[in-house]
Amino acid sequence: MNKDGGLSHKLHGLDHLRAFAIIFVFFYHYGRLFPHPGWTNTISEFGWSGVDLFFVLSGYLIASQLFQKISRQQKISLKEFFTKRFFRIIPIYLVVVALYFLFPVTHERESLAPLWKYLTFTQNINLDISKQGTFSHAWSLCIEEQFYLLLPLILLLLVRFKINKKGFWILIAMFISGFIVRLYCYQHFVLPAGDDRWLPWYKFIYYPTWSRLDGLVVGVSIAALLQFKPNFSNNILKHGNKILLVAVVTFTSIYFIFSNQESLSASVFGFPLVDIGYGVVVLAALSPGCFLYKYKSLVTTKIAALSYGIYLIHKIIIHLVQAQAIKFKIDDNSNAMFLISVVSVFIASLILNEIVEKPFLKLRKKILNKNKTGEPTNVIAG
């Protein structure tokens, strides 16, 4: 952190967390959707929460960039912001969408949602997982894109009407509203379904934007704390390893709450607890005294760099690889099949990174440099 709370160098701790998040999600989908070795069940059981860690990281990273401009009394450029987001997110996303719609053999489950829902990032709204299970993991991208659209606009309004200090109250209100929304949805849509409540639970609790904003709110709150309360946050960041210990205690509590994911307590209180826990982990990773901050790993750095591509492509690759395994008499549930799948996903994401992500990021850099205002580039800008 620099003197005004800005991000001044590569934060290796966040790369460790990105790598952990995508590995966790990979295990979850591998264990839930595909034949797998029995030992993976222990890891995959809680793997869904890797998406929540991504939410917290996204909220923190994106808000930090915008808050820096506000604290320096610089104008937020929507053109610059959306240019960065577009070239980082859209090209590789459209490639994967094209693969799914042009080649039905890539479908890991039943039908896709309508194409317009993927193109408008609204696939997570009213998603029927029993009929549109293919590429269902796009739901989290929809929430993030909606977040990217709204956050800078809200900040512009706060600055325009000089009510920046009211922003903390907005964050608190959004966080509390999540409890109310999930409680309402649970009582009116999930409970009436009786024992067959898994489908409405996913449809009204797990996937919708209004039920899953907690992680992004936690991430934005961390960014606001570090940017606008530097003295307070610096005192906290002195105790990195202790902060990480608090996170361990938090997740121990969460484990028992989520013993039944579709219960009322888990549905209403579980997600924000998970997100707060991951928020504490992010704080630890930002703390100079924490081992996550100090330790540099080329492995986690590479996995972090490929994490978006891995997230997009992993179901396709696992599905295709396991379908071909029959020809070579490889047991789908074997460790060999698991290893082949992991290596195949890594190679596929590496190829996507080289032929899609990197060229478009270079183009983004060229476009941004053309309109350069002299502002230093944030090295962790996504």
Least confident of 160-164, 216-220, 291-295: 160-164
DSSP 197: -
For residue 374, pLDDT beyond 50: no
Q: What is the pLDDT of residue 380?
A: 31
pLDDT tens track for 191-240: 999 888 999 999 999 999 999 999 999 999 999 999 998 888 888 888 88
- pLDDT-based confidence at residue 250 (cuts at 50, 70, 90): confident
Residue 111 lies in a domain: yes
Residue 375 lies in a domain: no
- pLDDT-based confidence at residue 150 (cuts at 50, 70, 90): very high
Q: Enter the tokens of residue 359.
A: 């060229």
Q: What is the pLDDT of residue 368?
A: 92
Q: Enter the tokens of residue 302.
A: 């590479």
**Torsion over CA: 156, 160, 165, 170 (sign):** negative
Measured distance CA(222)–CA(286) in Å, rounded: 10
DSSP 23: H
For residue 373, pLDDT beyond 60: no
Maximum pairwise Cα distance, the chain: 67
Q: What is the pLDDT of residue 240?
A: 85
End-to-end CA distance of the chain: 18
Which run of H or E residues covers position 263? Answer: none
Residue 162 lies in a domain: yes
Asked whether the beta carbons of 224 and 62 are under 8 A apart, the reply is no
For residue 378, pLDDT beyond 50: no
pLDDT tens track for 55-101: 999 999 999 999 999 988 888 999 999 999 999 999 999 999 999 99
**Closest listed residue to residue 52, CA positions, set 85, 22, 10:** 22
Q: What is the pLDDT of residue 10?
A: 62
Higher per-residue confidence, 205 vs 291: 205
Q: What is the pLDDT of residue 232?
A: 81
Average pLDDT of the chain to the nearest whole number: 90
| Overall pTM > 0.85 | yes
Question: How large is the C-alpha radius of gyration of the chain?
Answer: 21
Measured distance CA(231)–CA(287) in Å, rounded: 14
Measured distance CA(256)–CA(250) in Å, rounded: 11
Backbone torsions φ then ψ of 228, nearest 5 degrees: -105, -10
Report angle CA 231, 235, 238 to the nearest 5 degrees. 135
Q: What is the pLDDT of residue 379?
A: 32
DSSP for 30-75, written as a single string: HHHHS---TTHHHHHTTGGGHHHHHHHHHHHHHHHHHHHHHHTTPP
Asked whether the beta carbons of 35 and 333 are under 8 A apart, the reply is yes
**Domain count within the chain:** 1
DSSP for 141-176, written as a single string: HHHHHHHHHHHHHHHHHHHHTT-GGGHHHHHHHHHH
Asked whether the beta carbons of 104 and 98 are under 8 A apart, the reply is no
For residue 5, pLDDT beyond 70: no
Residue type at position 176: I
Residue 379 lies in a domain: no
For 125, the 3-state DSSP assignment is coil
Least confident of 6-20, 182-196, 356-370: 6-20
DSSP for 89-112, written as a single string: HHHHHHHHHHHHHH-GGG-SSSPP
Measured distance CA(114)–CA(124) in Å, rounded: 12
Asked whether the beta carbons of 290 and 241 are under 8 A apart, the reply is yes
CA dihedral 200, 206, 209, 210 (to 10 degrees): 70
Least confident of 262-266, 275-279, 369-373: 369-373
DSSP for 227-248, written as a single string: HH-HHHHHHHHTTHHHHHHHHH
Residue 7 lies in a domain: no
Asked whether the beta carbons of 200 and 184 are under 8 A apart, the reply is no
Per the structure, the complete domain to which residue 205 belongs is given by: 12-370
Measured distance CA(36)–CA(25) in Å, rounded: 15
Q: Enter the tokens of residue 208.
A: 């919708």
Residue 6 lies in a domain: no
Residue 378 lies in a domain: no
pLDDT tens track for 361-372: 999 999 998 876
Residue 116 lies in a domain: yes
